[in-house]
Amino acid sequence: MSHARIFADFANAAADGCLRLDARSTLQDLRRTGVLLRPGLVLWLCDGERIALAQVADCEGHGARHARLLAAPVAVDGG
């Protein structure tokens, strides 16, 4: 079973360590896949080179525009 990968800039972290989900490519991927961000949602985030599982969170009261990584990003396999 294939899971949608949403673009994320792993360097775009907020002060509290949450990853911001506001990059143009992220918003385009969300629209393309029909994913609606809501706290608790688990997503595969990918920057083209690395991938990580993350959970959408209401970090610092900013609503569901952030995610906490559930594990460190790992290299995307070539296959």
pLDDT digits (tens, 9 = 90+) for 35-77: 998 889 999 999 999 999 999 987 666 566 889 999 899 998 7
With beta carbons less than 8 A apart as the criterion, state whether 73 and 52 touch.
yes
Cβ distance 51 to 45 under 8 Å?
yes
Model confidence at 17: pLDDT above 60: yes
Which sign does the torsion angle of CA 64, 69, 75, 79 carry?
negative
- Which pair of tokens denotes residue 53? 């599982």
Q: Is the pLDDT of residue 8 over 90?
A: yes
- What pLDDT does 18 receive? 85
Check pLDDT > 90 for residue 7.
yes
- pTM, two decimals, is 0.83
